[in-house]
Copies of this chain bind each other. A is one copy, B any other.
Amino acid sequence: MEQSVKDTEDVVILFAGDSGDGIQLTGGQFTDTIALFGSDVSTFPNYPADIRAPVGTTSGVSGFQLKFGSAEVFTPGDQYDVLVVMNAAALRVNLPNLKKGGIIIANSDGFDSRNLRLAQYIGEENPLQDRSLDGYEVHAIEVTKLTREALKDSGLGMKAIDRCKNMFVLGFVYWMFSQDLANTIRFINHKFQYAPEVRDANLKALNKGHHYGDTMETFTSRFDVKSAQLPAGAYRNINGNQAMALGLVAAAKRNDLELFYASYPITPASDILHELSRHKRFGVKTFQAEDEIAAICAAIGSSFAGGLAVTGSSGPGIALKGEALGLAVMLELPVVIINVQRGGPSTGLPTKTEQADLLQAAYGRNGEAPLPILAASSPRDCFDTVYEAARIAVEYMTPVMVLSDGYIANGAEPWKFPTSAELHPFQSNAGSEITNVEGVFMPYARDDRQVRPWVKAGTPGKEHRIGGLEKELVTGNVSYDPENHERMVAIREGKVAGIAKDVPAQIIHRGEAEAKVCVLSWGSTFGAIETAIRDLLQQGVSVAHVHLRYLYPFPANLKQLLSGFETILIPEMNRGQLAMMIRHQFLIDARSISKVQGLPFTVEEIKKVIQNELSK
């Protein structure tokens, strides 16, 4: 196995702060817990440059580095995935060695003006607030304040209380890495057995930090950045939600449309709203509605008025939008619906990832109401996918569902961003005259792709009425005629099905068409599967990878492409939803590989499944 093709599950963390912050102990505890859990861990000391440097200065920063999840030992060249900093100086010193798009956990109480000055931030600009950390996943927590609050009745003095901050942070980090507290609780119980107040204070801080992750709906699955060789070009880091937001701004700007994003906050989709609400410069209108139903209905209204209308949510919120989605199908208006999936069912696991809303996307409304479904495969792919979704919505006058998930929404990776000139403009039929039958405007006349016209309310001479009752062919009047209904059902279905011909033919991402095993996938499993298959191919295994962006309709050549394989395995973070769609459409014995743990597949899991299959 080549060096570059390394197992990507390893994580490198640096805990950094003042020497008084208990960094070494924190790191040590984390290491012990991880090791107990059965992972390989290696650590690397990182002492302050100057042991007597004053508190808060860069030279006083102490660190504890560890790497876990792979057998490789820590090497000085390793960049951190996660940086835990107790103050501004710790950030300043260590940021350069953080991976692009890495995670920062910062005690924001360590960023007051004194700290900023000591850390030599110019003009005391707070990096936690000035967007200079864009592209990183930043968790800014008032650790000092919260620890003091938690321990105000502990009987300890302020100094002693502040010494428990590290336990608060440790608790939070345990939450993020879904680790158990038991080991550290044992440790504290033992260490402070003769100082019950100190013991209790430490235990409480640890617990509170852990709860904090829960209470804040802090997302706990982390995106693995594949350290592949990047092609030449200009790059930036981006996470999925940001990419989604930028994709929308780009779609609007490039096509002279006004973006309207209506949403109701929900983890892990809220950041799209947050991001877009900052882009008033681009004329973006964001609307925090009273609920998800209002949000999609407002989007429908916006679309009727000619806006590039988008609504986003996560599973439970998408469930609420089902009825209105049906209306959008009936109205044949462009609306983009984004589902940043999380663990279900019901409220489920709001801070964990899953891809179990595919069938809801396809069938979660009454009647025959087909709509296109696209899924993003990685943080950066959210940009392209949502841009393409907007294109299809506008060109085909249809609601389009975009599936992302918490894993890629919160995870960042390097992105070779396009120039605006590289973005293809939409070919909308708006303004074309297909719809005048003897001088009378016909809202349901269609072009040769079966698409009706998009006429912005307010356009003179084209006043028309649309609605959710079945409508007559061409005129759009209400119609109860049986044959008309059957034809309209067929037209709506046919129009969407026709998109299959207008999307790129499905490719095999890796491996050959003659491979014994084909791994078919969609969404955020892309990275792990690509890596696994790259490895196996290098070992000479006969395997191929096909990854879908278009889930409904499938690309026109998919059936033929798949029928060449003996065995098709479909790993999904659900109970086999794509597998079901493939099986019924193509009647091939595709097999579901299911993982429903709120966690992404690891490369090893994928490899094992394939190897098992081949050794049968």
CA distance A468 to B588 in the complex (A): 36
CA distance A442 to B470 in the complex (A): 51
B323 engages A319 (CB within 8 Å): yes
Whose C-beta in chain B lies nearest to the C-beta of A369? Answer: B345
Residues of chain B contacted by A583 (CB below 8 angstroms): 583-584, 587
Verify if A354 is at the interface (C-beta below 8 Å from B): yes
Verify if A366 is at the interface (C-beta below 8 Å from B): yes
Residues of chain B contacted by A112 (CB below 8 angstroms): none
CA distance A318 to B486 in the complex (A): 23
Beta-carbon contacts under 8 Å, A336-393 to B: 341, 343-352, 354, 356-357, 359-360, 362-369
Residues of chain B contacted by A595 (CB below 8 angstroms): 486
Q: CB < 8 Å: which of B341, B345, B588 contacts A326?
A: B345
B598 engages A343 (CB within 8 Å): no
A480 engages B598 (CB within 8 Å): yes
B364 engages A319 (CB within 8 Å): yes
| Size range of the chain A interface in the assembly | 35 or more
Q: How far is the CB of A444 from chain B (nearest CB, A)?
A: 15
Residues of chain B contacted by A314 (CB below 8 angstroms): 366
Beta-carbon contacts under 8 Å, A553-590 to B: 574-575, 579-581, 583-584, 587-589
Verify if A209 is at the interface (C-beta below 8 Å from B): no
Q: How far is the CB of A507 from chain B (nearest CB, A)?
A: 25
Per-residue B-contact encoding for A147-181, CB less than 8 Å = 1, 0 else: 00000000000000000000000000000001000
Q: CB < 8 Å: which of B315, B320, B486 contacts A320?
A: B320
Residues of chain B contacted by A25 (CB below 8 angstroms): none
CA distance A319 to B326 in the complex (A): 9
Report copies per complex.
Answer: 2
Verify if A330 is at the interface (C-beta below 8 Å from B): yes
Residues of chain B contacted by A596 (CB below 8 angstroms): 368, 485-486, 489
B368 engages A344 (CB within 8 Å): yes
Per-residue B-contact encoding for A310-338, CB less than 8 Å = 1, 0 else: 00001110111011001101100000000
Whose C-beta in chain B lies nearest to the C-beta of A330? Answer: B346
Residues of chain B contacted by A348 (CB below 8 angstroms): 330, 366-367, 468-470
Per-residue B-contact encoding for A285-303, CB less than 8 Å = 1, 0 else: 0000000010000000000
Q: How far is the CB of A535 from chain B (nearest CB, A)?
A: 24
Verify if A467 is at the interface (C-beta below 8 Å from B): yes
Whose C-beta in chain B lies nearest to the C-beta of A484? Answer: B597
CA distance A354 to B482 in the complex (A): 11
Q: CB < 8 Å: which of B366, B467, B575 contacts A315?
A: B366
Verify if A214 is at the interface (C-beta below 8 Å from B): yes
Residues of chain B contacted by A356 (CB below 8 angstroms): 366-368
Verify if A220 is at the interface (C-beta below 8 Å from B): yes
Verify if A483 is at the interface (C-beta below 8 Å from B): yes
Q: How far is the CB of A117 from chain B (nearest CB, A)?
A: 40
A598 engages B369 (CB within 8 Å): no
Verify if A445 is at the interface (C-beta below 8 Å from B): no
Q: How far is the CB of A564 from chain B (nearest CB, A)?
A: 18
A360 engages B364 (CB within 8 Å): yes
Residues of chain B contacted by A486 (CB below 8 angstroms): 595-597
On whether A326 and B352 interact (CB within 8 A), knowing A364-B364, A367-B357, A575-B489, the answer reads: no
B366 engages A485 (CB within 8 Å): no
Per-residue B-contact encoding for A24-55, CB less than 8 Å = 1, 0 else: 00000000000000000000000000000000
CA distance A481 to B596 in the complex (A): 11
B480 engages A352 (CB within 8 Å): yes
Per-residue B-contact encoding for A419-457, CB less than 8 Å = 1, 0 else: 000000000000000000000000000000000000000
Verify if A197 is at the interface (C-beta below 8 Å from B): no
Q: CB < 8 Å: which of B318, B327, B575 contacts A368?
A: B575
Residues of chain B contacted by A327 (CB below 8 angstroms): 346-347
Whose C-beta in chain B lies nearest to the C-beta of A214? Answer: B480
CA distance A316 to B581 in the complex (A): 24
A347 engages B493 (CB within 8 Å): no
CA distance A436 to B350 in the complex (A): 30
Q: How far is the CB of A609 from chain B (nearest CB, A)?
A: 15
Verify if A599 is at the interface (C-beta below 8 Å from B): yes
CA distance A202 to B231 in the complex (A): 79
B343 engages A330 (CB within 8 Å): no
CA distance A366 to B329 in the complex (A): 20
Q: How far is the CB of A497 from chain B (nearest CB, A)?
A: 11
B366 engages A363 (CB within 8 Å): no
Residues of chain B contacted by A322 (CB below 8 angstroms): 319-320, 322, 360, 364
Question: Other CB < 8 Å A-B pairs besides A319-B364, A363-B363, 11 of them?
Answer: A319-B323, A343-B470, A349-B485, A352-B482, A354-B367, A356-B366, A356-B367, A368-B574, A486-B596, A489-B575, A584-B584
* 7 A-B pairs closest in CB distance: A344-B367, A315-B366, A345-B367, A482-B597, A345-B369, A347-B468, A584-B584
15 A-B Cβ contacts within 8 A?
A178-B482, A293-B320, A314-B366, A319-B366, A320-B320, A330-B347, A344-B367, A344-B368, A345-B368, A346-B468, A348-B470, A349-B485, A351-B480, A368-B575, A489-B575
> A interface vs B, CB < 8 Å?
178, 214, 220, 293, 314-316, 318-320, 322-323, 326-327, 329-330, 341, 343-352, 354, 356-357, 359-360, 362-369, 467-470, 480-483, 485-486, 489, 492-493, 574-575, 579-581, 583-584, 587-589, 595-599
